[in-house]
């Protein structure tokens, strides 16, 4: 037998067996590694699942508390619903009552609308009457305004200017004519002669007292015991003078200013007397005052003719 050959074959077989064993062991190791990896993966999954279970349990506990709170809220809402149902029932009864009231109000509104229509018709009729009266009143006022401008204002302006003239020029003319009348001059002459006579009597009395002892005024032929009485009497006479100008003015009490001017017009020597030229009556002496509208203060004056022309232009 060839032992060497057998030994070689044995070694080769042993080597093969060892190699096969090694491969088997490597395969087993790889299998174990794979199983270990699988176990680790499963363990990780198990840990993850445990964590999820804990989370779910915590969530369930939280949901349980929320559910309890919701149950309590639900109970409160149930109670509130019952209360609201009662209120709804009350409101429904109130709605029925309001519907009945509304129906009554609609009927009243319908009657009111009918009454309003009739009232509007009545108001329209009355308004038409009022408008007609207002139109007539406007026409009357316009006519009155025209009458005032055309008739009243000219007379008023003439009256105002005439009164102003009488209180200024007229009074002066009356005094001038009175002081230069024959009646006044005669009475003045008589009063002056009586005053002279009275003075002479006072002189005689003084001379008798101081110069002629033992004599009295009755012994003097020029003595007139009634001199003082005559003087007092003649002083009273001007009060009873019948001044013709006064009678003439009285007869012209309803006359126009122009007629009174003609009555008071200066004549004879008075016309050429000093200072009488401006006093002679003239229509241009008739003036109308110009007032300030706010406080009626007189700002000046204008002629009557100009004021009448302005009033006439306003009428036109």
pLDDT band at 142 (very low <50, low <70, confident <90, very high): confident
Q: Please check whether residue 250 lies inside any domain of the structure.
A: yes
Q: How many structural domains are present in the chain?
A: 1
Q: Please check whether residue 261 lies inside any domain of the structure.
A: yes
% of the chain exceeding 70 in pLDDT: 70
Structural domain that includes position 250: 156-281
Q: Please check whether residue 241 lies inside any domain of the structure.
A: yes
Q: Please check whether residue 186 lies inside any domain of the structure.
A: yes
Mean of pLDDT values over 19-32: 73
- Residue 225, pLDDT above cutoff 50: yes
Q: Please check whether residue 96 lies inside any domain of the structure.
A: no
Distances (CA, A) of 25 to 19, 21, 35, 36: 10, 6, 15, 16
Q: What is the pLDDT of residue 210?
A: 45
Q: Please check whether residue 26 lies inside any domain of the structure.
A: no
Mean of pLDDT values over 123-139: 89
């Amino acid at each position: 037998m060839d032992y060497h050959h057998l030994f070689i074959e044995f070694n080769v077989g042993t080597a093969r067996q060892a190699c096969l064993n090694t491969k088997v062991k490597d395969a087993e190791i790889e299998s174990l590694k794979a199983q270990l990896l699988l176990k680790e993966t499963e363990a990780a999954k198990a840990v993850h699942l445990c964590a999820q279970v804990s989370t779910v349990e915590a969530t369930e506990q939280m949901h349980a508390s929320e559910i309890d709170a919701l149950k309590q809220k639900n109970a409160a809402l149930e109670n509130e619903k019952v209360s609201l149902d009662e209120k709804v029932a009350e409101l429904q009864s109130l709605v029925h009552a309001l519907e009945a009231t509304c129906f009554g109000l609609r009927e009243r509104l319908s009657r009111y609308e009918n009454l309003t229509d009739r009232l509007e018709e009545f108001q329209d009729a009355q308004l038409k009457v009022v408008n007609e009266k207002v139109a007539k009143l406007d026409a009357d006022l316009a006519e009155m305004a025209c009458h005032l401008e055309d008739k009243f204002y000219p007379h008023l302006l003439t009256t105002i200017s005439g009164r102003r003239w009488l209180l200024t020029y007229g009074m002066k003319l009356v005094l001038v004519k009175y002081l230069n009348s024959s009646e006044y001059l005669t009475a003045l002459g008589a009063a002056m002669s009586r005053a002279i006579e009275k003075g002479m009597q006072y002189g005689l009395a003084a001379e008798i007292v101081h110069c002629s002892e033992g004599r009295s005024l009755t012994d003097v032929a020029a003595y007139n015991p009634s001199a003082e009485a005559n003087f007092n009497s003649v002083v009273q006479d001007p009060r009873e003078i019948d001044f013709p100008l006064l009678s003439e003015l009285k007869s012209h009490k309803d006359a126009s200013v122009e007629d009174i001017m003609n009555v008071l017009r200066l004549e004879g020597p008075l016309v050429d007397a000093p200072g009488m030229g401006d006093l002679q009556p003239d229509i241009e002496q008739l003036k109308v005052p110009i007032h300030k509208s706010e406080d009626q203060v007189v700002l000046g004056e204008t002629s009557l003719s100009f004021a009448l022309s302005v009033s006439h232009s306003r009428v036109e």
